[in-house]
Amino acid sequence: MLLCHKHPVSARLHFLVPQRAGVVLPLPLPSLAVFAEGPCDSPLQVHPASALRHVQEELGIGPALELVSEFQVSLEVPGMRLPVYLAALPGHDLCPAPVGTHWIELPKSIGMPWLDRELLRRAYEVLIG
């Protein structure tokens, strides 16, 4: 899951990322992950509410996170397809970064692996246009 905060007035956008590496929480992406092309063929779809609740509890984030339904990205890893969800922190202020994470803006992603930067860029495109 990607976590972000978009200021409702200034549209300033921050992403909550792990300090260790990567951009998704709570666990890093598998090493062989690539973007999946085309719609998911699986008849069974997983609702992201439980994943969102798990991430929120694990990080101890107080304000309720909101899913950004327009963000629809899937990654392929050997043997399976993984959805990547985008959740947004509502309100005007950032919450303090939980232990092991920090807030960044998109330009701070320079130097990250291409897949991580591309996930952030796609989220930015959905949120800002």
**Is the four-CA dihedral 4, 120, 48, 127 of positive or negative sign?**
positive
Coil/strand/helix, residue 33: coil
Mean pLDDT taken over the chain? 90
Which pLDDT does position 63 carry in this prediction? 77
Residue 123 tokens read as: 């989220």
- Structure confidence at residue 125 as a pLDDT band (50, 70, 90): very high
- Strands of the chain (E only): list them: 2-6, 13-18, 34-35, 66-67, 73-77, 80-84, 86-88, 101-104
Rounded to two decimals, the pTM is 0.90
* Model confidence at 128: pLDDT above 60: yes
pLDDT tens digits for range 37-87: 876 666 566 778 888 998 999 999 887 899 999 998 999 988 888 899 999
Dihedral in degrees, nearest 10, Cα atoms 94, 12, 2, 67 = 80
For the chain, what's the residue count?
Answer: 129
| CATH number, residue 64 | 3.90.79
What's the pLDDT score for residue 20? 87
Looking at residue 39, what is its pLDDT?
64
Per-residue pLDDT averaged across 100-110, rounded? 95
Q: 78 is in which domain, residue-wise? A: 2-38+47-128
The number of domains in the chain is 1
